[in-house]
């Protein structure tokens, strides 16, 4: 089964909700739509479900043009971020509703509802109404309703975002199991990079109404082809800074410099942007080649297993805060294992592992060796 | 001081109920006793007033006529307001906010303004003195009211519910009646109650547009004043009976009305 978007755009008034998008989604595993709130994930999902009309472009499923078909004629399932169930129907009738509308009758309905309910462990609650269930159970009901019918496309719009931490973990582990071997294309929208990595499959990064890149999730994380993809696919936010290459040296303003290696080595001299994931910036020297950068610690977050520090680059130890440099400073983030003692407001020395550096041209394209 | 504070609402309620008690008590008195002096209870208890109403067709048809046009009006108002309120709550269209406001302004004019044009119009098309004439005239006030109330309840239902139903395969009509309407029953109850009440108590249009065949109870009651004097006992009994339909309806929707207040639409 293949789902293809051809030059799809969505404009509403002067606002561009989705810029020209062409994607061929993977037939197996998850297709994760990763992007911040308002990036255009829900717009894309609504277009695929025909809850909204595209301005231009087409949607094709198995060499069949879906574009003119209304929602009811596309075999889709949809789970919203908010728990949406029919409040006046029991859980059983909620799950049975797509079957009943689809013309399934008799014991077949009962059999399939029971099957879906068992998968989502809703067995004991079938007689209750959604209002009498916890948030997790309500979302399970919505998922069961989405899974009970044989849909070609399953759309999950941040289905776990409104659940508490424990339930989210639990359902996230179950989801791939529930959706495998169904032969349907699964689109999963999320704003959390870690969720995309956990679900695996393929990922499309979306930013400001544009699909910046589509590919295997792990590959996309390792090799973003442009700066926007790298930005979207990083949590805590990826560190960026302007660097200058001259000869075989890379200089980060006058703060640090290191030898050009890998992809950047064969690129011509000039200005570039370096992007470094926070875990390559450590408060301790990890390898011989680490480059030292000092900065003033602004905010720290300790979670026990890791320490995160936001620091303002270029404020050297002992010099205090210099107002003149403020216009040209960057705030970087360091993420390290264990608990590291930081004193907020004081200068600290950080170490950059240059092997983790990704280089981009000033207009945001990846430098490929 | 606080020991007696609880008596304040009790006194207030007593004060509110006093006229109703007085009406109730008068309905069991003879007109002579009412005019004769101040009595707290009926001295000569009589059911004659009620007997007159339930046996004289010109009286009980007043009730039947009123109930008929009020019911017709409520049904028309709700049926017309449901799609209108759905459109206002779910779609954005040119001038939607102005239209919504304009609907409400229909409630701001006194009914007397519309009495003459309605009379002329309905006489011309042969609707004068029919139940449907009064029912349609009352729609002028009740449809905007019902749209206003229902729009509030409908906007409380998330749009995602509509989308989920379409994804499940529901066609629009099937979704509307099987999914949407059951979720706003309390709103329909509240809207129907207010349509019922406004139509029930409205006198001017009802009286202007009817003569004999569809004469409402409020008009019938005026015949207690005649050249022979007032039949106060009969008037009181008729008054007591007009309270009953409203009391019955409000009993069924009392819980929903609180919900309507919470939505700020009642």
- Reported as a single tens digit per residue, the pLDDT across A265-276 is 888 888 999 999
Percent of residues, chain A, with pLDDT higher than 70: 96
Q: Which residues 138-167 of B are in CB contact (within 8 Å) with A? A: 158, 160-161, 163-167
* pLDDT computed for residue A324 by the predictor: 40
Q: At residue A141, what are phi and psi to the nearest 5 degrees?
A: -60, -45
Q: Per-residue pLDDT tens for B70-89?
A: 999 999 999 999 999 999 99
> Which residues in A lie closer than 8 A to residue B183 (C-beta atoms)?
86-88
* pLDDT computed for residue A162 by the predictor: 83
SS3 A176: helix
Q: Which residues 41-60 of A are in CB contact (within 8 Å) with B? A: 46, 49, 51
* pLDDT computed for residue A216 by the predictor: 92
> Which residues in A lie closer than 8 A to residue B160 (C-beta atoms)?
80, 82, 84
Burial of A104 (0-12, 13-18, 19+ CB in 10 A): middle
Q: Is B171 in Cβ contact with A84 (below 8 Å)?
A: no
Q: Per-residue pLDDT tens for B171-204?
A: 999 999 999 999 998 899 889 999 999 999 888 8
> Which residues in A lie closer than 8 A to residue B167 (C-beta atoms)?
49, 51, 71, 76-78
Burial of B21 (0-12, 13-18, 19+ CB in 10 A): exposed
* pLDDT computed for residue A113 by the predictor: 92
Is the pLDDT at B102 greater than 90, yes or no? no
* pLDDT computed for residue A344 by the predictor: 87
Helix B57-90 × helix B96-105 angle, to 10°: 160
Nearest chain A residue to B182, by CA: A88
**Residue of B158, B168, B179 lying closest to A82 (CB–CB):** B158
* pLDDT computed for residue A145 by the predictor: 92
Percent of residues, chain A, with pLDDT higher than 90: 35
**Chain B contact present for A161, CB below 8 A:** no
DSSP tag of A50? T
* pLDDT computed for residue A326 by the predictor: 40
Q: Is A84 in Cβ contact with B158 (below 8 Å)?
A: yes
Comparing CA positions, the residue from A274, A280, A239, A279 lying closest to residue A364 is A274
- Overall average pLDDT of the A161-185 stretch: 83
Q: How far is CA B82 from the centre of its chain?
A: 18
Q: Are A44 and A57 in contact (CB under 8 A)?
A: no
**Average pLDDT, whole number, for chain A?**
87
**Chain B contact present for A335, CB below 8 A:** no
Is the pLDDT at B113 greater than 90, yes or no? no
- Overall average pLDDT of the A198-203 stretch: 90
Q: Are B74 and B188 in contact (CB under 8 A)?
A: no
Is the pLDDT at A325 greater than 80, yes or no? no
Q: How far is CA B260 from the centre of its chain?
A: 16
Three-state secondary structure readout of chain B: CHHHHCHHHHHHHHHHHHHHHHHHHHCCCCHHHHHHCCCCCCCCCCCHHHHHHHHCHHHHHHHHHHHHHHHHHHHHHHHHHHHHHHHHHHCCCCCHHHHHHHHHHCCCCCHHHHHHHHHHHHHHCCCCCCHHHHHHHHHHHHHHHHHHHHHHHHHCCCHHHHHHHHHHCCCHHHHHHHHHHHHCHHHHHHHHHHHHHHHHHCCHHHHHCCCCCCCCHHHHHHHHEECCEECHHHHHHHHHHHHHHHHHHHHHHHHHHHHHHHCCCC
Give domain limits for chain A.
3-232, 239-360
CATH match of A3-232 with 3.30.1330.20: no
Provide the Cα torsion A79, A84, A88, A92; round to 10°. Answer: 30
CA distance B257 to A109: 38
End-to-end CA distance of chain A: 36
Give the pLDDT band (50/70/90) at residue A315: low
What six digits make up the tokens of B59? 């009286």
- Overall average pLDDT of the A248-271 stretch: 86
Is the pLDDT at A109 greater than 70, yes or no? yes
What six digits make up the tokens of A159? 């289905």
> Which residues in A lie closer than 8 A to residue B166 (C-beta atoms)?
51, 70-72
Three-state secondary structure readout of A65-128: ECCCCCHHHCCEEEECCCCCCCCCCCHHHHHHHHHHHCCCCCHHHHHHHHHHHHHCCCHHHCCC
* pLDDT computed for residue B266 by the predictor: 59
CA distance B132 to A347: 85
Is the pLDDT at A96 greater than 90, yes or no? yes
For domain B61-216+236-262, give the fold.
Answer: MetI-like fold (1.10.3720)
CA distance A69 to A53: 10
Comparing CA positions, the residue from B217, B250, B251 lying closest to residue B234 is B217
Spell out a b/e string for B47-67, using b for 16 or more CB atoms within 10 Å of the CB, else e: eebbebbeeeeebbbbbebbb
Is the pLDDT at A320 greater than 60, yes or no? no
> Which residues in A lie closer than 8 A to residue B161 (C-beta atoms)?
84, 86
**Chain A contact present for B177, CB below 8 A:** no
Cis preceding-peptide flag for B89 (omega within 30 of 0): no
Mutate to test the interface with B, among A53, A88, A129 (most CBs of B within 10 A): A88
Q: Are B139 and B114 in contact (CB under 8 A)?
A: no
**Contacts for B178 with CB less than 8 Å, ≥ 6 apart:** B170
Q: Is B166 in Cβ contact with A88 (below 8 Å)?
A: no
**Average pLDDT, whole number, for chain B?**
88
What six digits make up the tokens of A75? 């075999």
* pLDDT computed for residue A345 by the predictor: 86
Is the pLDDT at A347 greater than 60, yes or no? yes
Is the pLDDT at B2 greater than 80, yes or no? no
Q: At residue B219, what are phi and psi to the nearest 5 degrees?
A: -80, -40
Q: Per-residue pLDDT tens for B218-255?
A: 888 887 777 667 788 889 999 999 999 888 988 888 88
Q: Per-residue pLDDT tens for B144-180?
A: 999 999 998 999 899 999 999 999 999 999 999 999 9
**Chain A contact present for B169, CB below 8 A:** yes
Residue keyed to tokens 């393929």: A202
- Overall average pLDDT of the A242-258 stretch: 87
Position with higher pLDDT, A368 vs A328: A368
- Overall average pLDDT of the A243-248 stretch: 88
* pLDDT computed for residue A200 by the predictor: 85
Length of chain A: 369
């Amino acid at each position: 089964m293949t789902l293809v978007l051809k030059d799809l755009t969505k404009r509403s008034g002067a606002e561009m909700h989705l810029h020209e998008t062409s994607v061929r989604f993977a037939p197996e595993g998850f297709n994760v739509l990763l992007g911040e709130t308002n990036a255009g994930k829900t717009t894309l999902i609504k277009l695929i479900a025909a809850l909204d009309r595209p301005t231009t472009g087409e949607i094709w499923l198995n060499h069949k043009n879906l574009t003119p078909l209304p929602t009811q004629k596309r075999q889709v399932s949809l789970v919203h971020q908010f728990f949406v169930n029919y409040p006046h129907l029991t859980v059983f009738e909620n799950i049975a509703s797509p079957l009943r509308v689809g013309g399934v009758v008799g014991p077949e309905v009962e059999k399939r509802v029971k099957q879906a309910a068992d998968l989502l462990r809703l067995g004991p609650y079938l007689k209750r109404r959604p209002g009498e269930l916890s948030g997790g159970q309500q979302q399970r009901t919505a998922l069961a309703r989405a899974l009970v019918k044989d849909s070609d496309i399953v759309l999950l719009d941040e289905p776990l975002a409104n659940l508490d931490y424990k339930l989210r973990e639990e359902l996230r582990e179950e989801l791939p199991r529930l959706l495998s071997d169904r032969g349907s294309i699964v689109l999963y929208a999320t704003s959390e990079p870690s969720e995309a990595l956990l679900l695996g499959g393929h990922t499309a990064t979306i930013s400001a109404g544009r699909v910046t890149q589509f590919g295997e999730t792990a590959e996309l994380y390792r090799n973003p082809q442009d700066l926007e993809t790298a930005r979207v696919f990083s949590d805590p936010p990826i560190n960026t800074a302007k660097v200058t290459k001259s000869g075989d040296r890379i200089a980060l303003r006058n703060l640090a410099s290191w030898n050009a290696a890998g992809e950047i080595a064969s690129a011509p001299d000039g200005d570039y942007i370096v992007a470094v994931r926070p875990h390559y910036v450590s408060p301790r020297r990890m390898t011989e080649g680490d480059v030292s950068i000092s900065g003033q610690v602004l905010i720290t977050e300790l979670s026990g297993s890791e320490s995160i520090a936001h620091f303002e680059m270029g404020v050297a130890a002992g010099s205090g805060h210099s107002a003149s440099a403020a216009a040209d400073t960057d705030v970087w983030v360091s993420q390290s294992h264990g608990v590291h003692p930081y004193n907020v407001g004081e200068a600290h020395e950080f170490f950059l592992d240059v092997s983790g550096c990704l280089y981009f041209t000033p207009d945001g394209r990846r430098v490929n060796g | 001081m606080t020991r007696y504070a609880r008596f304040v609402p009790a006194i207030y309620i007593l004060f509110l109920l006093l006229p109703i008690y007085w009406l109730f008590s008068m309905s069991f008195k003879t007109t002579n006793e009412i005019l004769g002096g101040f009595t707290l209870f009926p001295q000569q208890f009589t059911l004659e007033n009620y007997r007159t109403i339930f046996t004289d067709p010109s009286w009980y048809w007043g009730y039947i006529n009123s109930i008929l046009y009020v019911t017709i009006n409520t049904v028309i108002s709700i049926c017309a307001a449901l799609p209108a309120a759905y459109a206002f709550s779910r779609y954005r269209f040119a001038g939607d906010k102005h239209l919504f406001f304009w609907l409400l302004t229909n409630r701001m004019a006194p009914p007397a303004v519309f009495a003459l044009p309605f009379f002329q119009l309905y006489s011309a098309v042969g609707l004068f003195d029919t139940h449907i004439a009064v029912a349609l005239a009352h729609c002028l006030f009740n449809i905007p009211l019902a749209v206003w109330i229902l729009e509030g309840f409908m906007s409380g239902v998330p749009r995602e519910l509509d989308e989920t139903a379409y994804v499940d395969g529901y066609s629009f009509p099937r979704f509307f009646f099987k999914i949407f309407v059951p979720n706003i029953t309390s709103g329909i109850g509240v809207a129907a109650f207010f349509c019922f009440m406004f139509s029930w108590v409205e006198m001017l249009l009802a009286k202007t547009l009817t003569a004999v065949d569809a004469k409402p109870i409020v008009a019938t009651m005026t015949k207690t004043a005649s050249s022979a004097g007032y039949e106060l006992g009969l008037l009181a009994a008729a008054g007591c009976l007009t309270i009953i339909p409203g009391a019955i309806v409000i009993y069924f929707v009392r819980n929903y009305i609180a919900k309507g207040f919470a939505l700020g639409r009642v």
